[in-house]
Structure 1
Amino acid sequence: MAFSVGCKKTDKPNTFLPSIKGGVTTGNGNVSESGQGGKIGEEGGVTSTDGGEVGLTGLEDFENMLMDREAFAAQTVYFGFDRSQIEPGDTDNVNAVAEALSNSPQNKVLIQGHCDERGTEEYNRALGERRALSIRDILVERGVSADRIRTMTLGEDRPADPSLTESAYRLNRRGEFVLLTPKPGN
């Protein structure tokens, strides 16, 4: 007789954030805090509980930037289970992003750390942040100025594949790059 044990999976459209602790870091790795409650919506945008925008210290430089999620889609970095160390095979992806940024000094990058659904929400947020910081550290080693990089953890909130299979879990344990380019006229 076989038994299957697991957690009941429920849809989580929004995650309440009592503060933005651990959610966004500045280029030097310090955690930005807004001191306000907020939530991350389905698209990852941050709004306060009263519907207004949450001020995120360290992101003001990025307000006049356009987000391009597709530019570095092929450079996504994947992680092993419960790991934040970049595998040797994925360093080429980080190197390609570093080269693109060095060729376009006006551009910046947002690194988003993701996890699979296993583990607590709190643990996955911390792990997602460690993954994003691990990628950031390599970019800085490759000569990208830390003030051009921001990191963000999305934990398990935005899976690449919502299936409950090992292959889906592998796709969800990732770090993604979002290219930030100046808005025209700025």
Structure 2
Amino acid sequence: MTTRRRLLFVWLVSVIGMVAVVALQVGPNRHRMEDDLTRRSAQALAEAGGLPPVEVAFTGRDGVLRAGDEAAASRAREIVSGLEGVRTVRTVVPPAAEPVRLPAPSLRVTVAAGRVALTGTVPSATDRGPIRDALDGFAAVDDRVSAGDVTGDGLAGLPGLLGVLPREAAALTVDLRDGVLTLAGTAGSEVEWVALTTAARDTGLTVVDRLEVVGLGEQLADVPPLLFPEGSAWLSPQAQRNLWRAAGLLNAYPSATVRIEGHTDAFEAGDPLSAERAAAVRDVLVSFGIDGDRLTASGLGHDRPDRPDDTDDGRAYNRRAVLAVTGETGP
């Protein structure tokens, strides 16, 4: 080995030795410094009081604090930054966990000819009880409502609505979904429609009204005809019973207005007698409690015969009074 190479080798060995010595001294000293800063920081945070747990770690003189929220992180950073020997402080706040959001409850109630079917999901059997109790009086209840992981939002007001469901409805549906309450099907009268929509709004939910209302005219058409003896405006007991039924329908449509049309056969006194017949019907309806302001009476004579006058039966049907709807409300 040449002299030059020997000198280079000796120099390398010396450098490596010095580095090793420095490493052996600096490493422990650094760990002691980090441990000391960590210990003093934790003590200062504990003595501050009122702080939630904060994790402290140091790399050299640079600290990292992990806190549960920004307020705690800011206060901890202020405390640790003021300690002797600390150079920088960085805070870490983990993102807040997303809260578990349960879906809204669902309930579908279908009424048909005295029977009711329920499907959907509510939080528990406790929530099913008031719903089921509100349906007492139906001939049969098919309850398929299950308990599941849903909220109870909107359920508190439902029993009030279900309690006014008509027990003999031909086809009616109440559907609660995503916080929206939808009414669909057919209401048997204006009074029925008002009761359903009012109770639905009282739940506090968003209400969609898709109900149809059976028309008053359609129901009056089912009332037996109001017939009079020849040449008379006298209402027989049977005719008055028919009017009692008509009055019940008018009560079920309190905003409807009606024109009473009197008629004669071809051989009677025409307009005067037909007007008397219309007035007689109006008087009886008023005596049954119908507001007279809702009723108008007019005599049409023989202008609109119901049947040909060439038979006794035809003339008997022409001696009549008819109730014609002139106005009603509804959806």
| Inter-partner Cα distance in structure 2 for 1:118 and 1:74 | 28
| Inter-partner Cα distance in structure 1 for 2:263 and 2:278 | 8
Q: Which residue of 1 aligns with 2:221?
A: 73
Deviation at 1:91, TM superposition (A): 1.0
* Distance verdict in 2 for CA 1:69–1:155, change over 3 Å: farther
2:270 alignment partner, SS class: helix
| Inter-partner Cα distance in structure 1 for 2:216 and 2:288 | 22
| Inter-partner Cα distance in structure 1 for 2:303 and 2:216 | 20
**Is 1:141 matched with 2:290?**
no
Q: Which residue of 1 aligns with 2:304?
A: 158
Q: Which residue of 1 aligns with 2:318?
A: 172
CA-to-aligned-CA distance 1:6-63 (integer Å, 9 cap, x gap): xxxxxxxxxxxxxxxxxxxxxxxxxxxxxxxxxxxxxxxxxxxxxxxxxxxxxxxxxx
Q: Which residue of 2 aligns with 1:117?
A: 266
The answer on whether the counterparts of 1:71 and 1:178 sit within 8 Å (CA) in structure 2 is no
Q: How many residues align?
A: 116
* Distance verdict in 2 for CA 1:130–1:168, change over 3 Å: same
| Inter-partner Cα distance in structure 2 for 1:138 and 1:99 | 13
| Inter-partner Cα distance in structure 1 for 2:324 and 2:248 | 15
The answer on whether the counterparts of 1:111 and 1:132 sit within 8 Å (CA) in structure 2 is yes
What TM-score comes out, normalization by structure 1 length?
0.57
| Inter-partner Cα distance in structure 2 for 1:71 and 1:178 | 11
1:155 alignment partner, SS class: coil
* Distance verdict in 2 for CA 1:99–1:69, change over 3 Å: closer
* Distance verdict in 2 for CA 1:116–1:97, change over 3 Å: same
| Inter-partner Cα distance in structure 1 for 2:302 and 2:218 | 20
Greater per-residue helix proportion: 2
Q: Which residue of 1 aligns with 2:277?
A: 131
Q: Which residue of 2 aligns with 1:104?
A: 253
The answer on whether the counterparts of 1:109 and 1:150 sit within 8 Å (CA) in structure 2 is yes
1:74 alignment partner, SS class: coil
Q: Which residue of 2 aligns with 1:95?
A: 244
2:326 alignment partner, SS class: strand
Deviation at 1:182, TM superposition (A): 3.0
Deviation at 1:70, TM superposition (A): 4.2
Deviation at 1:181, TM superposition (A): 3.2
Structure 2, unaligned runs of 5 or more: 1-214
| Inter-partner Cα distance in structure 2 for 1:70 and 1:164 | 29
Q: Which residue of 1 aligns with 2:63?
A: none
Deviation at 1:68, TM superposition (A): 6.6
> Counterpart amino acid of 1:87?
S
Structure 1, unaligned runs of 5 or more: 1-66
The answer on whether the counterparts of 1:113 and 1:176 sit within 8 Å (CA) in structure 2 is yes
| Inter-partner Cα distance in structure 1 for 2:217 and 2:247 | 16
| Inter-partner Cα distance in structure 2 for 1:158 and 1:175 | 11
> Counterpart amino acid of 1:178?
A
2:297 alignment partner, SS class: strand
What TM-score comes out, normalization by structure 2 length?
0.33
* Distance verdict in 2 for CA 1:163–1:118, change over 3 Å: closer
> Counterpart amino acid of 1:172?
N
> Counterpart amino acid of 1:166?
D
Of structures 1 and 2, the larger Rg is shown by 2
* Distance verdict in 2 for CA 1:182–1:73, change over 3 Å: closer
* Distance verdict in 2 for CA 1:127–1:163, change over 3 Å: closer
Deviation at 1:179, TM superposition (A): 2.2
Q: Tell me the percent identity.
A: 28
* Distance verdict in 2 for CA 1:85–1:130, change over 3 Å: same
